[in-house]
């Protein structure tokens, strides 16, 4: 069974701490080189609703640091703005500076070519066979993905798997945003297969998906936001994303990159194999939908 912790608190930091208390994270962190990757897709001084909030990042970092990691870095690579600008607009940079951890923009050069795994025998094939990344992302021993629970116009949902996949390609190589003005790529030709293959190549050790805020209607930017207080965390990133997708109303096969990731062995995709700690899934769906839509939906 895969453990998935779901918690709720109007103050997101206690909700994060409670969720992580239900997971065995100490061994992933103690004396390890730990990278915390928030959602930093785009923000402006007027609108920070599409990215990880400063209190979310603080809650994660404070929890991580109690296990005495050898090194901690907040790593980011924004897709539609300079990464450091997003971090400052959102207040995340203030948290980084206050807690004295490193910040690294993996959009920067140098870059190296990394081959991506596919499984032709499973018909999980995408057009992107390699990706150019900053080599430092290969050094992380424990990768923690911290992402929002959001709908996405192309990827259907955007949570932990997409948070890594669409941020790691180095924008200094591909362009800001990652168009084709510098070098050709096919990230968007089949985004779902690309996300699944990136999840296989760059494994997430701990996934933390928060509805603080959640975004529905469209995304990853400009949708309807709701401050749900929900946290979904798991050592299996696919499981965390499957549960987050369920809160948004999608089953595994309704989100193709999650379905493909399951076939690639990224994690377990069968929700019947999940053990829920803290809040049970039906209650979480009721709380989440009540916050987002104003009335409870049930499964």
- What is residue 182's predicted lDDT score, i.e. its pLDDT? 73
Would you say residue 120 has pLDDT above 60? Answer: no
Residue-level length of the chain: 299
Average pLDDT over residues 65-79: 97
Band of residue 124 on the pLDDT scale cut at 50, 70, 90? low
- What is residue 121's predicted lDDT score, i.e. its pLDDT? 54
- What is residue 180's predicted lDDT score, i.e. its pLDDT? 64
Domain residue extents for the chain: 2-293
Average pLDDT over residues 263-280: 96
| Mean pLDDT taken over the chain | 95
- What is residue 123's predicted lDDT score, i.e. its pLDDT? 58
Band of residue 181 on the pLDDT scale cut at 50, 70, 90? low
Would you say residue 193 has pLDDT above 80? Answer: yes
Would you say residue 183 has pLDDT above 60? Answer: yes
CA atoms within 13 A on the CB side of 243: 37
Span 3-17, pLDDT tens digits: 999 999 999 999 999
Domain at 2-293: CATH code: 3.40.50.11440
- What is residue 178's predicted lDDT score, i.e. its pLDDT? 75
Would you say residue 21 has pLDDT above 80? Answer: yes
Q: What is the pTM of this model?
A: 0.97
CA distance linking residue 91 with residue 55, whole number of Å: 9
């Amino acid at each position: 069974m895969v453990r998935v912790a779901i918690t709720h608190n109007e103050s997101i930091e206690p909700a994060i701490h409670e969720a992580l208390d239900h997971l065995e994270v100490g061994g992933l962190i103690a004396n390890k080189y730990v990278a915390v990757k928030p959602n930093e897709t785009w923000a402006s001084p007027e609108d920070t609703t599409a990215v990880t909030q400063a209190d979310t990042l603080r809650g994660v970092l404070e929890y991580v640091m109690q296990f005495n990691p050898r090194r901690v870095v907040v790593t980011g690579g924004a897709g539609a703005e300079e990464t450091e600008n997003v971090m400052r607009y959102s207040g995340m940079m203030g948290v980084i500076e206050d807690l004295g951890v490193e910040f690294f923009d993996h959009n920067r050069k140098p870059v190296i070519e990394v081959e991506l795994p596919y499984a032709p025998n499973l018909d999980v094939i995408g057009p992107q066979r390699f990706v150019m990344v900053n080599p430092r992302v290969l050094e992380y021993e424990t990768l923690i993905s911290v992402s929002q629970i959001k709908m996405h116009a192309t990827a259907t949902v955007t949570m932990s798997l997409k948070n890594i996949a669409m941020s790691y390609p180095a924008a200094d190589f591909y362009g800001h945003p990652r168009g084709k003005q510098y070098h050709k790529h096919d990230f968007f030709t089949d985004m779902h297969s690309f996300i699944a293959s990136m999840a296989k190549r760059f494994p997430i050790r701990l996934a933390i998906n928060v509805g603080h805020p959640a975004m529905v209607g469209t995304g990853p930017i400009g949708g309807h936001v709701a401050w749900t207080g929900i946290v979904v965390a798991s050592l299996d990133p696919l499981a965390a994303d499957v549960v987050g997708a369920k809160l948004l109303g999608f089953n595994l096969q309704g989100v193709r990159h999650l379905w493909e990731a399951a076939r690639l062995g990224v994690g377990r995709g069968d929700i019947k194999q999940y053990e829920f700690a803290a809040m049970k899934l039906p209650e979480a769906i009721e709380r989440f939908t009540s916050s987002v839509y104003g009335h409870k939906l049930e499964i």
